[in-house]
Amino acid sequence: MAEPSGKLKEVRLTTPVRHEDLRRLELGDVVYLDGLIYTGRESVYKRVLQDGVAPPVDLKALTNVNFHCSPAASRNADGTFNVGAVTATASFRFSKWLPKWLEVSGAKVIVGKGGMSEQDYRDTFVPAGAVYLTTVGYGTGALLGRGIKRVRDAHWIDDLGIAQAMWVFEVEKFGPLLVESDLDGNSLFERNNRIVNQGLARLYEGLKPPSLARYGETDDRRDELIG
Amino acid sequence: MPHAPKIAADRIEEAAHTVMAKAGIEIPDDYLHGIQAMASTESGDLSAFVLRAMLENWEAAKADRRPMCADTGVPRYYVKIGNEARIEGGPVELERRIRRATARATHDVPLRPNRVHPLSRRDNDNNVGINAPEIEYSFEPDADWIDVTTVHKGGLFGTDYRMLFPADGVDGIKRFYLDTLIAFGKRGLACQPAIVGIGLGGSKDTCMVLGKQAACLRVVGDRNPDPEIAALEDELKTLGNSIGMGAMGFVGSSMVVDCHIEVGYTHTGGMPMSVHCFCLSSRRATARLHPDGRIEYRTDPEWFTPYLRRDTVEWQSPAASSKKSA
Position A91 in a domain: yes
Among residues B170, B176, B157, the alpha carbon closest in space to that of B274 is found at: B176
Contacts of B128 in chain A (CB under 8 A): none
User: How many Cα atoms within 13 Å fall on the side-chain side of residue A151?
Assistant: 24
Contact B45 A6 (CB under 8 A): yes
Element (H, E) at B83: none
Q: Which fold has domain B9-24+68-154+284-298?
A: 60s Ribosomal Protein L30; Chain: A; (3.30.1330)
Question: What percent of chain B lies above the pLDDT cut of 90?
Answer: 94
For residues B212 and B207, give the distance between their C-alpha atoms in angstroms, rounded to a whole number.
9
Residue A93 neighbours by CB under 8 Å, 6+ apart = A42
Cβ contacts of B323 within 8 Å, gap of 6 or more? none
Query: Is residue A85 a part of any domain in this protein?
Result: yes
DSSP H or E segment with residue B244: none
CA distance A24 to A131: 11
Query: Exposed/middle/buried for B56, CB within 10 Å: 0-12, 13-18, 19+?
Result: middle
The helices-and-strands tally (H runs, E runs) of chain A is: 10, 9
Name the residue range of residue A189's domain: 10-199
The Cα–Cα gap between B320 and B326 comes to 10
Instruction: Give dist(CA B218, CA B262) in Å, integer.
Output: 10
pLDDT band for position B323 (cuts 50, 70, 90): low
Residue B154 Cα, gap to closest chain A Cα (Å): 11
Give the Cα separation of B259 and A138 in Å (integer): 20
Alpha carbon distance A48, A105 (integer Å): 10
The 8-class DSSP code of residue A174 comes to E
Q: CATH number of the domain that A92 lies in? A: 3.20.130.10
Q: Using only C-alpha atoms, what is the Rg of chain A?
A: 19
Shortest CA distance to B159 belongs to which of B135, B133, B128, B194? B194
Q: How many CB pairs under 8 A join A and B?
A: 200
* Average pLDDT of the segment spanning B102-111: 96
Pairing of strands B194-201, B146-153: unpaired
Cis peptide bond prior to B272, omega within 30° of 0:
no
Q: Determine whether the interchain pair B66/A85 forms a contact, defined as Cβ–Cβ distance below 8 Å.
A: yes
- Number of helices (H), then strands (E), belonging to chain B: the values are 8, 9
Cα→Cα distances B182→A28, A71, B169, B202, Å: 22, 29, 20, 25
Chain centroid offset of residue A180 CA:
9
- Pairing assessment for the beta strands B283-289 and B256-264 based on DSSP bridges: unpaired
Element (H, E) at A167: strand A166-181
Task: Answer whether A95's CB lies under 8 Å from A227's CB.
Answer: yes
How far, in Å, CA of A104 to CA of B231, rounded? Answer: 56
Q: Do B188 and A196 touch (CB under 8 A)?
A: no
Averaged pLDDT for residues B23-47: 97
> pLDDT band for position B4 (50/70/90)?
confident
pLDDT digits (tens, 9 = 90+) for B78-93: 999 999 999 999 999 9
With CB atoms and an 8 Å threshold, state whether A72 touches B112.
Answer: yes
Q: Check if B168 contacts A (Cβ < 8 Å).
A: yes
Whether B57 and A137 have beta carbons less than 8 Å apart is answered as yes
Is the pLDDT assigned to residue B217 strictly greater than 90?
Answer: yes
Most A CBs within 10 Å: which of B186, B236, B267, B280, as the mutation test of the A interface? B186
pLDDT at residue B107 tops 70? yes
Is residue A135 within 8 A of residue A70, CB to CB? The reply is: no
Predicted confidence at residue B320, as pLDDT, reads: 62
Yes or no: say if B239 and B178 are a contact pair by the CB < 8 Å rule.
yes
**Rounded CA separation B231/B226 (Å):** 9
Distance of CA B216 to the CA centre of its chain: 1
- If residue B271 lies in a helix (H) or strand (E), which one and from where to where? strand B271-278
What is chain B's Cα-based Rg?
A: 20
In a domain, A140, yes or no: yes
Distance from CA of B317 to the nearest CA of A (A): 41
Ranges in chain A, pLDDT < 50: 1-5
Nearest to B175 among A145, A195, A210 (CB): A210
**3-state secondary structure (DSSP) of residue B272:** strand
Residue B324 has pLDDT above 70, yes or no: no
Tell me if A134 and B164 make a contact (CB, 8 A cut-off): no
B168 to chain A: which residues are within 8 Å by CB?
Answer: 208, 210-211
Nearest CA in chain A to B242: A203
User: Is the Cβ pair B114, A163 closer than 8 Å?
Assistant: yes
The runs of H, that is alpha helices, within chain B are 9-25, 29-41, 45-64, 90-108, 169-185, 204-216, 227-240, 318-325
In a domain, A176, yes or no: yes
Instruction: Report the gap between the CA of B324 and the closest CA in chain A (Å).
Output: 49
Chain B residues lying within 8 Å of A189, measured CB to CB: 186-187, 248-249
Cβ-Cβ contacts under 8 Å, B162 against chain A? 210, 214
- Report pLDDT for B282: 95
pLDDT of residue B321: 61
Phi-psi map region of A154: left, alpha, beta (phi>0 left; psi -120 to 50 alpha): beta
Alpha-carbon distance of B303 to A191, in angstroms, equals 42
Query: How large is the average pLDDT for residues B118-136?
Result: 95
pLDDT of residue B56 exceeding 90: yes
Residues of B with Cβ-Cβ distance to A46 under 8 angstroms: none
Per the DSSP assignment, residues forming a β-bridge with A134 are: A112, A178
Q: Of chain B residues 15-54, which have a CB less than 8 A from chain A?
A: 24, 45-46, 48-50, 53-54
Tell me A8's DSSP state: P
- How many domains does one find in chain A? 1
The rounded percent of chain B whose pLDDT value lies above 70 is 97
Which stretches within chain A are classed as H helix?
Answer: 19-23, 42-45, 59-62, 98-105, 118-120, 126-128, 141-146, 157-164, 188-197, 200-204
For helices B90-108 and B9-25, angle between their N-to-C axes, nearest 10 degrees = 40
* Distance of residue B290 Cα from the nearest chain A Cα, in angstroms: 32
Q: Which residues pair with B131 in a beta bridge?
A: none
Residue among B68, B112, B247 whose CB faces A162 most closely: B112
Question: Is the model's pLDDT at B204 over the cut of 80?
Answer: yes
**ipTM attached to this prediction:** 0.92
Chain A residue numbers touching B175 (CB-CB < 8 A): 204, 207, 209-210
Whether B241 and B256 have beta carbons less than 8 Å apart is answered as yes
* Sequence letter at residue B54: M
Region B214-234: what's the mean pLDDT? 98
Q: Which of B54, B64, B66 to mutate to test the interface with A (most CBs of A within 10 A)?
A: B66
Cβ atoms within 10 Å, residue A69: 27
pLDDT at B322: 60
- Checking if the pLDDT of B308 tops 90, the result is yes
Q: Which amino acid is at B265?
A: Y
CB contact under 8 A, B191 and A196: no
